[in-house]
Amino acid sequence: MTVPSALSTLDASRLTPNAPLAPFTTFQIGGPADWLYDATSADDLAAAITAARHGGLPWFVLGLGANVLIGDRGVRGLVIRNRAAAHTISPDGVLWSESGAVVQELVLETVRGGWSGLEHYIGIPSTVGGALWQNLHFLSPAPERERTMFISEVFADCDILSAEGERKTVDADYIRFGYDDTVFHHRRDVVLSARFRLTKDDPARLHRILQENLSWRGSRHPWLGIHPSAGSIFQKIEGVGAGRLIDQCGLKGFRVGDAQISHIHANIMVNLGRASAADVRALIAHAQQAVRERFGYELTPEIGFIGEF
């Protein structure tokens, strides 16, 4: 394939035509991207987006590929795989990280150094950019902190490439953190790097929190290494629970093709091996119809549907 002129400024060694995307998602589902580019720094990420914008080429930034379902027919234009992962921790506990850094790796590094703030998010597949996009959160199981922890609690500011093409630093007021919602759901701004304020703590205590959270999560979520998934499929219904409604419809274990509603958590759908995006979409529609007919609630997907189905 001939490289589009819009992409001629990018490093050709990191530009792949007709690239399958399934291996780069936690669902292990998805057709090919016309072009896949590995961005290895914040500057590189900004340059790739700018090149696509100026050339009128559709583009999409892919982190760890969690919380998305990519269509069987793939994605037109340019998919930018965000691998910008440089990071530092200052003596006063300010973590600076590029947006492609994997949160789990940052959790382990900060805990080893006795820095508290990220330990609650162990086991959740996300990059820094994805964490800010969804205001990453975790319901802590420990009695002394039995509440939902949000990444916004330790957020300081971040550098973005705005929808208008401007690089600037923005704070929490700009991002408008909500539950599974931020400004990034509503504008095509992209996080390039971010800063978080951490506090000193006892590494032994932090390791205990890691173990508690991993144990709690492992008992309630299917293991990605065995049953790939995109995490929770439907948005939270306050006071009711989407998963509880699906479970009460008797749908745990129900499958379409190789897509199945998990036996462990009814708001998670898993890939048993060869599931297609069409299988998942049909399973989503079945769950929505069952809940609507029995309880009158409308289940709204919270995952992103990317590409052509």
Q: pLDDT tens for residues 203-219?
A: 999 999 999 889 888 88
Q: Are 21 and 4 in contact (CB under 8 A)?
A: no
Is the CA virtual torsion 59, 62, 66, 69 positive or negative? positive
> What are the pLDDT digits (tens) for 136-195?
998 776 655 567 889 999 999 999 999 999 999 999 999 999 988 999 999 999 999 999
Half-sphere exposure of 268 (CA within 13 A, CB side): 21
- Residue 214: phi and psi, rounded to 5, are -65, -40
Is the CA virtual torsion 297, 302, 305, 309 positive or negative? negative
pLDDT recorded at residue 102 = 98
Neighbours of 129 (CB within 10 A): 28
Whether pTM exceeds 0.75 = yes
* Mean of pLDDT values over 29-37: 98
More confident residue, 4 or 95: 95
User: How do the domains of the chain map onto residue ranges?
Assistant: 5-82, 87-220, 229-306
> What are the pLDDT digits (tens) for 274-290?
999 999 999 999 999 99
Q: List the structure tokens of 182.
A: 């931020």
> What are the pLDDT digits (tens) for 230-239?
999 999 888 8
Give the residues across from 196 on adjacent strands: 95, 155
CATH classification code of 5-82: 3.30.43.10
* Average pLDDT across the chain, whole number: 95
E-strand ranges in 23-166 read 32-39, 59-62, 68-70, 75-82, 87-89, 94-98, 115-116, 137-139, 148-150, 155-161
> What are the pLDDT digits (tens) for 111-134?
999 999 999 999 999 999 999 999
* Mean of pLDDT values over 62-84: 97
Q: List the structure tokens of 301.
A: 């997907």
In this structure, which topology does domain 87-220 adopt according to CATH?
Answer: 3.30.465
Has domain 229-306 been given CATH number 3.40.50.2300? no
More confident residue, 196 or 138: 196
Percent of the chain scoring above 90 in pLDDT: 88
Picking from 159, 183, 161, 154, the residue whose alpha carbon sits closest to that of residue 170 is 159
Is the pLDDT reported for residue 31 higher than 90? yes
Half-sphere exposure of 41 (CA within 13 A, CB side): 5
Distance CA 258, CA 273 (A): 6
pLDDT recorded at residue 142 = 61
Contacts of 120 (CB under 8 A, 6+ apart): 138, 140, 149, 209, 213
Q: Which helix (H) or strand (E) holds 256?
A: strand 255-256
Q: Are 120 and 140 in contact (CB under 8 A)?
A: yes
